[in-house]
Structure 1
C-alpha cells in the first residue's frame, strides 16, 4: 500500500513541476532496417508491457490492424505501429504495449522497448505538423539543449486510434444547445492533438461558441495575457474577453496542469473557469486535476459530455 501511495505522490509531484515520464521504444528503420529511431508515449497511457502473444487476424480489418489478442480473458485490438508509421522492424514485432486512454484500451505492436525517461515539458517542442501524416505530435530532446542531443518522436496516439475506432458520438445540436456569450468573448482552447482540435472545434461550432484554438499551454498562456491586456485597454472585465479556458493536459513546452495553476494562482486570471479535456482518465488523474484548481474535467472523446460540461460551467 505504501508503495502505491509513493507512486501516486511521485506522479503528483511530476505534474506539479511541468514534468512527465516518457516510455521510449523502437519500431524499426527503413526497408533495410537502418536508422532505427526512438519513439515515445506518455507512461500515464501505458497499462502494461508484454511479450508478443499470438494474434488472431480479423476478417476485413483495416490496414495495419493485425487482429486481436486474448489477455487474461480480455479481447483487445492490436495495431501494427511500425507498419502505420512506415518502419520495418529488423527483428520483428516482439513487444506489445497495452495502452489505456481516451475511454479506449488497445495494443500497439512494436519492435523493442528502450527505457523510461523523466523529462520537463520544456524539452518537448511541437512538430511541424507534417510528420508521418500527423501521427507525430511533438519532438522531445532527451539531453536538453546540448549539441547533438538525442531526439524522440512523440506519437499522437489519439489521432492514431481515431483512425481505427472513430468516435460515433455527436454533440447535441439545435437552438436548445446554443449558448450566447458576451459579445467579443471567446472560448480559449489548447490541445496539441490534430484529431482533438478538430473534435473540439466541431463541438464549439455546433454550440455557436466563438473560440481561439492554440496548440499547447504556452501558446494559450501567451494568448490569455494578450486578451487580458486588450480587456484592460478597453476598461472591460477579463470575462468579457475570455469566457472559459478549455485545455488538454499533455502538451509540449507547457502542460495543462501548469497552465491551470498559472491561471488559478493569479489574481488577474483566477476568476476564469478552467475545463480540463484529456485522454488521461482514472481517479488518480482526476485527483491531479482537482489539485491544480481546475473547475471540471471531461475525458476524451465524448462530444455530448464535453458540450454538456461547457454548458454547465457557462
Structure 2
C-alpha cells in the first residue's frame, strides 16, 4: 500500500485544525502472555506499507539491523523495531513500513499493522519520564480524551535512528555551526521539540552560536512561555523583539503542533513580528508549502547543525 497524493493532500489540510493521522501497528509482547500493545507513527513519515519481502543480512551491520531490501532499485536498511523496543513478535515479522524522514529512507519491520486513525494533537500527551523510556515520545488517546480510551505509544523515530546508526548522528561539533550570533541583548530563542534527542542537539547548536534560549517540549508549552514574555514586555513597555529573537519549532508535538503554534503567534498583533522558524524531520514540497501558508519565516530539515545555524541567522536578520 502506498500513500497516494490525494490522501497526502487531505492529511496536509488537517494541519490547519491541529489534527493529524497516526498509523497504528503492533510489535509483539514484552513478556509471554502479555497483550500486543499498540504503537504509532505519523502517516506523513510513511512512504509505503509492504508484506515483508526477503531481507538480505548485511555483514557487520549495526545492532537491531535485520539487513537490507531492494525496493524498485533502492537499497533500504531494515530495522528490527520489535527487538529495539524489547518486544517479541509471536506472530512473526510480517509487515515492512518504508519511511522517509530526517533526510533518510529506512524501513521498520513490525508484527502487523492495525489501523490509521485521525486524531487531534490534544489527544496526544508527552511521555516524558514514562515507562517507554527515550524511544517513546508521546502517548496517544485513540478513542478521545476519556479515561477508558485505548492508548498507543508514539515512537521517537529520531531517537531510534540515533540508537541504530550512532555514527551517522553525532553530537554537534561547534566548528560546524559557523560564527556566533551578534549581540541580541536580552532577547532569547524559544525552542519547542518533543524528542529528547532532538532537544539535546538543538541545545548544543544554540549554545555553539552563543544564543540564550528556553527549551520546551510541546507547542502548548512554548505558547504559554511566549504569552508570558509578551505580557511582561507589554507591562514594561518593551518591544517584544527585545525579549524574543525567534521561535524555533518542530511540527509534530503533543497538545499543539508547530503549524498551530505558528498561526497562534502570527495571529496575535503583539507577536506577529517575531520570526518563526520550522525545524522538522518531515520533509517534502507539500510540507514546505504548508509551512509558508501558516506564516512561518523559514523551514529547515533536521538535523544539520550548520544549516540550522544559518537559517536562524537569516530569520533574525530579516
The alignment's TM-score, normalised by the length of structure 1, stands at: 0.95
1:172, distance to aligned residue in structure 2 (A): 5.8
- When residues 161 and 224 of structure 1 are mapped into structure 2, their CA distance, relative to the original with a 3 A threshold, is same
Matches within 5 A, 1:280-299: 280-299=282-301
Q: How far apart in 1 are the matches of 2:20 and 2:38?
A: 17
For 2:75 and 2:176, the matched residues in 1 are separated by 38
- Match of residue 302 from structure 2: 300
Partners of 1:167 and 1:302 within 8 A in 2: no
> What is aligned with 2:193?
191
Aligned to 2:87: 87
SS at match of 1:25: strand
Tell me: CA distance 1:5–1:95, structure 2 relative to 1, closer, same or farther (3 Å).
closer
1:232 matched to which residue of 2?
A: 234
Instruction: Indicate how the Cα distance of structure 1 residues 78 and 174 shifts in structure 2: closer, same or farther if over 3 A, else same.
Output: closer
For residue 181 of structure 1, report the CA deviation from its aligned partner: 3.5
Matched residue SS, 1:177: coil
Which deviates the most, 299-308 or 252-261?
299-308
Which residue in 2 is equivalent to 1:248? Answer: 250
CA RMSD of the aligned region, Å?
1.8
Distance 2:126 2:11 in 1: 23
User: Judging changes above 3 Å, is the alpha-carbon distance between structure 1 residues 174 and 11 closer, same or farther for their aligned structure 2 residues?
Assistant: closer
Answer yes or no: is the 8 Å Cα contact 2:123–2:144 preserved in 1.
Answer: yes
Alignment of 1:102-121 (within 5 A): 102-121=102-121
Question: Which stretch has the larger CA shift, 298-307 or 7-16?
Answer: 7-16
Q: Give the distance between the partners of 2:9 and 2:17, measured in 1 at CA.
A: 13
CA deviations 1:158-187 (Å, max 9, x no partner) are 110122233359566399611134322100
1:73: how far off? 1.3
Q: Distance in 2 between matches of 1:226 and 1:140?
A: 28
Aligned-partner Cα distance in 2 for 1:177–1:297: 20
Alignment size in residue pairs: 312
- State the alpha-carbon separation in 2 of the partners of residues 105 and 133 from structure 1: 24
Q: TM-score, normalised by structure 2?
A: 0.94
Of 54-63 and 35-44, more deviation after overlay is shown by: 54-63
For the pair 1:63 / 2:63, whether they are aligned, the reply is yes
For residue 144 of structure 2, what is the aligned residue in structure 1?
Answer: 144
Contact 2:64 2:164 in 1 (8 A): no
The aligned residue for residue 156 of structure 1 is: 156
2:75 maps to what in 1?
75
Query: 1:217-253 CA distances to partner (integer Å, 9 max, x unpaired)?
Result: 0000000011111212322100111000000000000
CA distance in 2, matches of 1:8, 1:127: 27
Match of 1:154, SS?
A: strand
Residues 144 and 218 of structure 1: CA distance in aligned 2, closer, same or farther (over 3 Å)? same
Q: What displacement does 1:13 show? A: 2.4
Report if aligned partners of 1:289, 1:297 keep a CA contact under 8 Å in 2. yes
CA distance in 2, matches of 1:9, 1:307: 31
SS at match of 1:146: coil
Moved more, 252-261 or 174-183: 174-183
User: 1:313 deviation in Å?
Assistant: 1.6
* Structure 2 spans left out of the alignment, 5+ residues: none
